[in-house]
Chains A and B, each alone.
Chain A
């Protein structure tokens, strides 16, 4: 399901004293099955951008294409409701959206709204719970009894149960412990390998380097760059201009290159690949 933005602009509260231009003439295309990261500072328009993909926001001008759906300023809700089951959007701190008496019912909320039968729902709920690592015995408990991390998983399962073909994640690991965060990211990476298009909004450059194929850089509502993580982080001018932090392993590799090691930055993704590169230099074994 390719996603295409064509001259998309969005203004909050137009025609009032409080109006703000959140998006300015954005053009880009996100390929089906890709893993795309969206980075940029707070208020740069990242969240506004992704909320156009499932028509939570309608552009003030321009058009968004998602598969056969066309989202334009006067789109009618009826025509796009189905789109929302195909584009799953996980908001920041999604655990705050839980409301049902049991986790099971909460995960079932999405599929139920899209008219699935109770047999189908049962399968979808159990599959989704398994994917995020929630035990079946927890499903009959109230989500308010669970720990923060577990509640986050339940909330994400609620989105996955809709079987979306595009998954949008807004800072999905914020506030999780390191291990929980890694498990979460590995889950998204696995889902991506199964063919789901993943769009990740994040401030964590390590994740960007490690997981994403392409990066969209937003600044002041404009699309500043759309390239591979390697090209983005190698572009010192851009990173300086937008105050982008480099991924830890990337700046470490940079320092090693300065000290004379011959390291292929294109191969450095995480600690393991960086170690491989160093080992190669020193004549050691590659794992």
Chain B
């Protein structure tokens, strides 16, 4: 039994990840590597050093305490080689301006639940609950399962926000503890899926079919990225799903935004992701009407 896990963040008063007022727990670690990832700090399984350049005073306090030379001075400016960081954590308190931090903290199930329970009354009054997201929560399966179990023990509504890429039997095991799945549908083309996310989509589709067949409540979430998957073909595929899976609770379009880039920069992973403008509202509305025209009506912006 793993009674602790690694968490990126716990967001209270979360109102965009499922119905009502929720607490969303973002777990660290994801088997995918989507080019448009908006939580890049949640991809790696381990904690990471995070550096906010804007706050750096170039005082080099970090350089003198770092045991592995990850912090160094170049042209009289503070630089970081993230590959050298061994997470001693010594630089964090040394920094006088809070420019450095460690992303990812070990939390026990009890700690998480304690925080979750603080807002229980808000869940009840708003029809909300708890959403486990990430990263991919299935990568910390035991931890996720225990949090969900504890939620159910406390009569709290649960959502699992998942990319679908995890062993099928694990989904079956966790199914009784999940009231609603937010299930990603990123790209319909087999090869493109691999190209953009790092994995093929066959397992994802298989798990989707399985959960649907088992009667799971599912909202499909489709990230749409301009120039990548805003294609007629992908839109048609979304509409076919809409027709073929009438018991879906809904389809949400998640227009691309580039907030993730700043977070990627902080962990030295900037180059791995696409860099385009955040989708404007008009474009999002065009997508919705295009999908409507194709016959897909129960669709909304997520």
- Real complex partners, A and B? no
Residues on B lying within 8 angstroms of A by beta carbon are none
Residues on A lying within 8 angstroms of B by beta carbon are none
